[in-house]
Structure 1
Amino acid sequence: MSGEDEAAPAARAEEISKVYGTGDAEVRALDGVSIDFPAGRFSAVMGPSGSGKSTLLHCMAGLDRVTSGRLWIGGDELTGMSDKELTRLRRDRVGFVFQAFNLVPTLTGAENVTLPAAIARRRPDEPWFERVVEAVGIGHRLRHRPSEMSGGEQQRIAAARALVARPAIVFADEPTGNLDSKASAEVLMFLRRSVDEFGQTIVMVTHEPTAAAYADHVVFLADGRIVSDMREPTAERVLDLLKELGG
C-alpha cells in the first residue's frame, strides 16, 4: 500500500495475525494484515465494531504480541524482542494517546506532560516543551491537576505528553471518544498541526468520520482484514464507505 508514498514507513506490518482462544472459541482478530504507515503522515484506521482496528494499533505499538507475522517500528523489528526490549522501544520511540486520557490525578498538567522523561530519568527539552505546550494551547492549565480540567484540556495534556519526547510515531486510540464536538476539533487540529509543523507521524484509530477527515489517508478493516483505503478523505466519503462495510 505504500508504493505511492516516497517516505519510508514509520511502522510496518507483514502478514500479521492475532488469534485469541482455541478450537470453537477461537477468534481471529487480525487475519494476515500487511500495511505500511508512512513517516510524517497522519493515518487513520477505521472499521465496524470488532473489525480488529484497536488490535492492529496495539500490536503495531508493541503493546500486544502477534500470533504470526512480522512488525517493525522504523528499522527495528518488534517480533522476537524480549519484554524488556519492547518496553525500551516503546519508551524511546513511541508516543500514546488513549481515549481515557491516562493522566496521573495527583500530578499537575506540567508534571503529566514531562512524566515519561521523569520515568526515564531524563531532563525534558525545555524549548521543545514550551513549543509543544504553546501549540496545544494548554499553558494556562500547567499548574492545575486533571480534576480541575475539562475533558478536552485533559486530552490535550495527554497529546502534549505523547509529543514532548519526540517519538518516531504516535499511536492514538479513539482520542476523541470521550469528548464533545468542540473539544474533539481542538484535539484533532493539534494532531494535524503536529504532522504539518513538527513532521510527526500519527496513526489514529477512530469510529468517527469527522475525525478521520483530518487524516492524510484512511485504512478500513473488516473481519480482521484490510478491505479498502482512502486518500484525502472527507467525512462524507468515509461515512459512505463505512455504510457499505456495515460500520
Structure 2
Amino acid sequence: MSNQSANTPETGSENSFTPATDINAGRPVAGEAAARAVNLHKSYGQGDTTVTALDHVNVEFEARKFTAIMGPSGSGKSTLMHCMAGLDTATSGSAFIGDTDLSTLRDKEMTALRRDRLGFIFQSFNLVPTLTAAENITLPTDIAGRKVDQNWFEEVTSRLGLTDRLKHRPAELSGGQQQRVACARALVSRPDIIFGDEPTGNLDSNSSAEVLNILRTAVDKDDQTVVIVTHDARAASYADRVIFLADGRVVNEILDPKIDDILAAMTGIEDVK
C-alpha cells in the first residue's frame, strides 16, 4: 500500500457503520501498552524473490509516552509503523491497538478504528487543497459524524499558532504551517495514538523544532501517546525512548535518549551491516 493512498482521510459509506465488536474498548492508561506487535512478520514476493521487511518483531509502545523508531534504510521501520497503524497488513503475527487485535477486524472495522482511535502526521502533510486550515483540522471528526469540541479546537489551534491562519488554504501556508495544521488535525480528535512517519522530513530546522515541541507537549500536557519513524537523531532525542531496527528486527533501544547516544547506536548498527 502506498503512503499516498494509505494516508488519505477515510470517506464513504463507513460514516454510519457500527462495528460488530467494540473497538473503543480497552483504552490503555499510563504504564500499559497503547500498541504492541506480537511475532509480527511481513514479507513481499515469493520463493527466491522473497524480501523480509519484518522478521517476527515483538515490541510494545507504552501509553502516554513518546517513542521514536530508527534504523538504516530498508530496516523495516516504516513497515512496522504502517502495520501497527493498520495502513498495511502483516503476513503473520498480530498488531494490537490497546486490546484490539487488528488482524481480527473486517475492512469497515479497520476504517472505523483508524478514523476514531488513531491520528496521523506524515512527511507530505496530506491536507485537502480545496479546504481551509480549519476544515482540514476538523475533517476526520466531521467524517465520523461527531461534534467538534470547540473549546479544545480553540486551545489546540491557539497553542499551535494557527488562530490567524484558519481561513487559509494549504497553498497559502508555509510548509511549517501546513505541518502544524496536520498536527492540529491529529490532536483535535483526541486519538489513542498519534503516528508520525518522518513528520519533520520536509521541514527546515526551525519548523522541525516547532513540530517536535508540539508532539512533546501533547505527551507531557495532554497524556497523548506518540510514535514516530525518523532518520533524524535530533528529532529522536525529543522522545522518551528510541528503538532501533535492522534487517526487520529490533536490535537496540535507548531510554531518555541523547543525540550522541543515538548517533553512536546508529553508527554501531551501520558498522555491523
Aligned to 1:109: 133
- 2 CA distance for matches of 1:8 and 1:240? 29
2:121 to 94, 97, 122: 97
Verify: 1:24 aligned to 2:65, yes or no.
Answer: no
Task: Tell me the distance in 2 between the aligned counterparts of 1:119 and 1:127.
Answer: 19
Query: SS of 2:53's equivalent?
Result: strand
Cα pair 2:56 2:93 within 8 Å, conserved:
yes
The partner residue of 2:208 within 151, 175, 184 is 184
How far 1:141 sits from its partner (Å)? Answer: 1.0
Q: 1:131 aligns with which of 151, 155, 159?
A: 155
Q: What residue number does 1:13 align with?
A: 37
Partner of 1:220: 244
Indicate the RMSD between aligned Cα atoms, in angstroms: 1.2
Q: Which residue in the other structure is 2:77 paired with? A: 53
Amino acid at match of 1:140: D
Matches within 5 A, 1:125-204: 125-204=149-228
C-alpha distance in structure 2 between counterparts of 1:39 and 1:120, whole Å: 24
- Closer, same or farther in 2 for the Cα pair 1:76/1:137, shift >3 Å? same
Whole-angstrom distance in 2 between the partners of 1:7 and 1:188: 23
Quote the Cα distance in structure 2 between the aligned partners of 1:140 and 1:49. Answer: 39
Q: 1:84 to 1:211 in 2, by over 3 A?
A: same
What is the CA deviation profile of residues 113-139 of structure 1, one whole-angstrom value per residue up to 9, with x for unaligned ones? 000011112221101111111221211
SS in 1 for 2:145: coil
Q: Conserved in 1, the CA contact under 8 Å of 2:40 and 2:94? A: yes
Residues of 2 paired with 1:128 and 1:67: CA distance?
A: 39
Paired residue type of 1:29: A
Q: Which residue is 1:62 aligned to?
A: 86
- The question of whether the paired residues in 1 share the 8 Å contact of 2:30 and 2:63 is answered with no
SS at match of 1:163: helix
Q: Quick one: which amino acid aligns to residue 42 of structure 1? A: F
Measured in 2, the distance between the counterparts of 1:167 and 1:214 equals 20
Distance across 2 between alignment mates of 1:185 and 1:138? 16
CA distance in 1, matches of 2:159, 2:59: 31
- Please name the residue that 1:121 is paired with: 145
1:6, CA displacement in angstroms? 6.5
Normalized against structure 2, the TM-score is what?
Answer: 0.87
**Residue 24 of structure 1: CA displacement?**
1.4
CA contact (8 A) 2:138 2:148 kept: yes
Distance in 2 (CA, whole Å) between partners of 1:34 and 1:200 is 22
Structure 2 gap ranges (5+): 1-28
Amino acid at match of 1:197: K
Distance in 2 separating the partners of 1:168 and 1:122: 16
User: In the TM superposition, what whole-angstrom CA distance separates every residue of 1:142-186 from its partner, at most 9, and x where no partner exists?
Assistant: 111111111010001001101110000010000000000000000
Identity fraction in percent: 57
Deviations 1:29-61 (A, max 9, x none): 000100110000000000000000000000000
The 1-side partners of 2:208 and 2:258 are apart by: 16
Separation of aligned partners in 2, 1:194 and 1:187:
11
CA offset at residue 236 of structure 1?
A: 1.3
Q: CA deviation at 1:80?
A: 2.0
| Partner of residue 37, structure 1 | 61
Of 235, 238, 260, the match for 1:236? 260
- Unmatched tracts of structure 1, length 5 or more: none
Report how many aligned residue pairs link the two structures. 243
Q: What SS does the corresponding residue of 2:130 show, helix, strand or coil? A: coil
